[in-house]
């Protein structure tokens, strides 16, 4: 292995490119390389739920950290992230879903990430209900069409 490394170094030097020059060029070009934009956290996850018995589809606005009920389900959104507009569109939420039935202990149905672009990737399976991710929105965007006034 040592002989291989020595031969590689000699080959590089014979070709006229010094390791110092190559390292310097990489360091100078590094700030120019585009970095992927980080996802932004939002306060509300917009979910859609289907009651398979009644065929009713409901849009659910679930604030992060609060319990939202849909039929016998309790849903808590732990986080809701959305990529910025200049990136490939994607909204994702980490959810905890329990089934609550009278006289029985709560039963955990789903815990994990749901993605708006791929609802079947990590779907919640239940005989009566389907829940999937639509979007992440800010608190003022879901209540009114205009931002709150500042004084």
Average pLDDT, the chain: 80
In 3D, which of 112, 114, 115 has the Cα closest to residue 90?
115
The token pair at 4 is 């291989």
In this prediction, residue 119 carries a pLDDT of 85
- Side-chain half-sphere of 75: how many Cα atoms within 13 Å? 30
Phi/psi at 127 (5° precision): -70, -25
**What is the mean pLDDT of the segment spanning 135-145?**
73
Q: Is the dihedral of CA 62, 64, 66, 71 positive or negative?
A: positive
80-97 pLDDT, tens per residue? 999 988 888 899 999 999
24-54 pLDDT, tens per residue? 555 555 555 555 567 788 999 999 999 999 9
All structural domains of the chain with their residue ranges: 2-32, 40-143
Q: Is the dihedral of CA 112, 41, 70, 127 positive or negative?
A: negative
Let me know if 10 is exposed, middle or buried by CB neighbors in 10 A (0-12, 13-18, 19+).
Answer: exposed
Structure confidence at residue 140 as a pLDDT band (50, 70, 90): confident
**What is the mean pLDDT of the segment spanning 120-140?**
90
In this prediction, residue 64 carries a pLDDT of 96
pTM: 0.67
72-81 pLDDT, tens per residue? 999 999 999 9
In this prediction, residue 69 carries a pLDDT of 96
Element (H, E) at 134: strand 129-137
Phi/psi at 20 (5° precision): -65, -40
């Amino acid at each position: 292995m040592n002989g291989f490394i020595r031969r590689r170094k000699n080959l590089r030097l014979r070709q006229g490119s010094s390791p110092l020059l190559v390292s310097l060029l990489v360091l100078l070009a590094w700030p120019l390389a585009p970095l992927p934009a980080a996802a932004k956290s939002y306060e509300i996850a917009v979910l859609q739920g289907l009651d398979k018995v009644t065929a009713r589809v409901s849009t659910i606005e679930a604030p992060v950290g609060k319990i939202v009920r849909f039929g016998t389900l309790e849903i808590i959104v732990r986080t809701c992230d959305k990529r910025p507009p200049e990136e490939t569109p994607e909204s994702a939420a980490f959810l905890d879903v329990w089934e609550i039935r009278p006289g029985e202990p709560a039963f955990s149905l789903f815990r994990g990430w749901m993605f708006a672009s791929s609802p079947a990737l990590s779907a919640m399976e239940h005989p009566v209900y389907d829940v999937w991710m639509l979007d992440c929105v800010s608190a003022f965007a879901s209540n009114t069409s205009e931002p709150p006034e500042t004084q």
